[in-house]
C-alpha cells in the first residue's frame, strides 16, 4: 500500500488520547450523578442505562476518526501503466555575457533583458529539450539539453558577466559549442537561439556559421540593444556609476547593436533575426516557426501510477459515524418503569 499524503497519518497519535477522553467522560457522568443523588435513586434512574452500549458508542467514534484519517492520507494500490511520449526539437539558448551586455540602452540592462527573454522562452516550450550556454571570449555549456526546464532556470538566474572569465565576444565560439552539444550525426531537429548585442570581437564567425549550416543547425538571433548604443557603465558595490569603460586609447567605449552580422548569421542557416522588444513578440514568432519544424521523439517513459483507494476507508468512516448515532445508551422509559418511579415518589 502507498499513501499519497502520508503526513496525515501523524494524526493517529491523537486517537489514544481521544479514546481515553471518551472513557473518562463515561465514568465521569456516573460519578457526578452519584454525588448529586442517593444511591437508591441513582440505581433507579440508571436502571435502563447500558454501559456496554456507551462503551460501544465510544469505540465506534474512535474507529470513525481512525478511518477518516486513513482516508485523508489517500491510500493507493494497484498500478496503472502509461506510455508517455514527448516529441519536439533540441533548442539551445546562447546568452551573451560579455561586458558590453552591461550597457543600459535597454532597461534595466542588455544582460537582464536577455535573461528575461530566455525566461519567457522557457515558459513557452512544450516538450522540447532545452540547453543553456553562456559566451564571451569563449563559450561554456552551463546546462546541457534537458527536459527539466527548472534546472535551466536555475542556471539562468546565476548567469552574469563574470560567469565566463575570458573577455571579449566570440559568436563563433558560441556556435561551435552549441553544435558540439547537439547529438552528433543528426542533420535536423537542432535550433540555436542567440541573445546578444552582436558585437563580435574575435572574428572567424563565417566559418562557424558554414559548419553549422552543414550540420543542419538552424540559428535564430535576437539582438539586445539599440543601434545608437550606450557607454558601458562601471559601478561600485552600491550600484553607483564610478566611470565608463574605455578603450586602450582612453576613449569611452560606446557599444552598439550589430544587427547586420546577426541577420547574416540567421539567414545563412535558415533562421531569422529579431530585435528584442518590450512586448517580446519576437519570441512568439520564433516559437511558432520552431513548432512547425519536424519533431523527433525525445522521451518515452513508462509510468506506474497508483490508483486512489481513499473511498474505502471514507465509506467505512461514514458507516461508523452513522452506526454510532443510531446507538442509544439507554432505552426509552416504558410504563412499567414510570409506574415504579411514581410508586417510589409516593412512599
* Total structural domains within the chain: 2
Contacts of 282 (CB under 8 A, 6+ apart): 117, 222, 274, 275, 276
Residue 80 within any structural domain of the chain: no
Give residue 176's pLDDT: 95
Count CB atoms within 10 A of the CB of residue 254: 15
Least confident of 23-27, 66-70, 105-109: 23-27
Its pTM stands at 0.63
What is the rounded CA–CA span in Å between residue 130 and residue 144?
8
Residue 79 within any structural domain of the chain: no
Give residue 84's pLDDT: 61
Q: Locate 167 and state its grid cell.
A: 573577455
What is the rounded CA–CA span in Å between residue 28 and residue 230?
85
Same domain, 172 and 220: yes
Task: Express each pLDDT in 230-279 by its tens digit.
Answer: 888 877 777 777 787 777 777 888 889 999 999 999 999 999 999 999 99
Same domain, 52 and 161: no
Burial track 92-106 (b if 16+ CB lie within 10 A, e otherwise): bbbbbbbbbbbbbbb
Same domain, 31 and 60: yes
The H or E element that residue 145 is part of is: strand 139-146
Check whether 341 has a pLDDT greater than 70: no
Contacts of 192 (CB under 8 A, 6+ apart): 91, 92, 94, 174, 175, 178, 212, 217, 218, 219, 220
Same domain, 70 and 89: no
Give residue 36's pLDDT: 61
Check whether 56 has a pLDDT greater than 60: yes
> In the structure, what pLDDT confidence band is assigned to residue 123 with cuts at 50, 70 and 90?
very high
Give residue 244's pLDDT: 79
Same domain, 278 and 342: no
Residue 152 within any structural domain of the chain: yes
Same domain, 296 and 314: no
By C-alpha distance, which of 202, 223, 225 is closest to 273? 223
Give residue 260's pLDDT: 92
Same domain, 28 and 135: no
Same domain, 30 and 125: no
Domain residues for 21?
2-74+310-346
What is the rounded CA–CA span in Å between residue 253 and residue 98?
14
Same domain, 8 and 121: no
Same domain, 150 and 30: no
Residue 305 within any structural domain of the chain: no
What is the rounded CA–CA span in Å between residue 156 and residue 232?
22
Same domain, 30 and 171: no
Give the CATH number for residue 228.
Answer: 3.40.50.410
Give mean pLDDT, residues 300-313. 73
Amino acid at each position: 500500500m502507498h499513501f499519497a499524503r502520508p503526513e496525515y497519518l501523524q494524526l493517529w497519535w491523537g486517537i489514544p488520547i481521544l479514546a481515553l477522553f471518551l472513557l473518562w467522560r463515561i465514568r465521569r457522568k456516573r460519578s457526578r450523578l452519584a454525588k448529586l443523588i442517593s444511591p437508591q435513586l441513582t440505581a433507579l434512574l440508571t436502571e435502563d442505562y447500558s454501559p456496554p452500549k456507551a462503551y460501544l458508542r465510544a469505540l465506534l467514534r474512535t474507529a470513525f476518526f481512525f478511518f477518516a484519517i486513513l482516508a485523508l492520507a489517500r491510500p493507493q494500490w494497484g498500478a496503472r501503466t502509461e506510455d508517455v511520449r514527448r516529441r519536439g526539437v533540441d533548442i539551445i539558448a546562447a546568452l551573451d555575457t560579455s561586458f558590453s551586455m552591461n550597457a543600459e540602452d535597454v532597461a534595466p540592462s542588455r544582460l537582464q533583458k536577455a535573461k528575461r527573454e530566455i525566461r519567457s522562452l522557457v515558459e513557452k516550450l512544450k516538450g522540447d529539450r532545452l540547453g543553456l550556454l553562456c559566451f564571451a571570449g569563449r563559450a561554456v555549456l552551463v546546462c546541457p539539453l534537458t527536459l527539466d526546464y527548472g534546472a535551466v532556470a536555475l542556471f539562468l538566474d546565476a548567469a552574469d558577466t563574470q560567469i565566463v572569465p575570458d573577455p571579449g565576444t566570440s559568436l563563433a565560439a558560441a556556435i561551435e559549442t552549441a553544435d558540439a552539444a547537439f547529438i552528433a550525426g543528426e542533420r535536423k531537429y537542432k535550433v540555436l537561439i542567440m541573445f546578444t548585442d552582436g558585437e563580435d570581437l574575435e572574428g572567424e564567425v563565417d566559418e562557424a556559421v558554414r559548419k553549422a549550416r552543414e550540420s543542419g543547425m538552424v540559428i535564430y538571433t535576437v539582438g539586445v540593444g539599440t543601434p545608437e548604443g550606450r557607454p558601458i557603465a562601471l559601478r561600485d558595490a552600491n550600484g553607483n556609476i564610478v566611470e565608463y569603460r574605455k578603450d586602450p586609447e582612453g576613449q569611452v567605449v560606446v557599444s552598439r547593436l550589430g544587427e547586420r552580422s546577426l541577420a547574416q548569421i540567421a539567414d545563412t542557416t535558415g533562421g531569422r533575426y529579431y530585435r528584442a522588444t518590450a512586448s517580446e513578440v519576437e519570441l512568439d514568432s520564433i516559437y511558432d516557426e520552431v513548432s512547425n519544424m519536424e519533431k523527433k521523439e525525445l522521451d518515452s517513459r513508462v509510468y506506474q501510477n497508483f490508483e486512489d483507494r481513499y473511498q474505502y476507508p471514507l465509506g467505512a468512516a461514514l458507516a461508523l459515524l452513522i452506526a454510532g448515532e443510531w446507538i442509544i445508551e439507554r432505552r426509552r422509559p416504558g410504563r412499567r418503569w414510570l409506574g415504579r418511579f411514581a410508586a417510589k415518589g409516593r412512599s
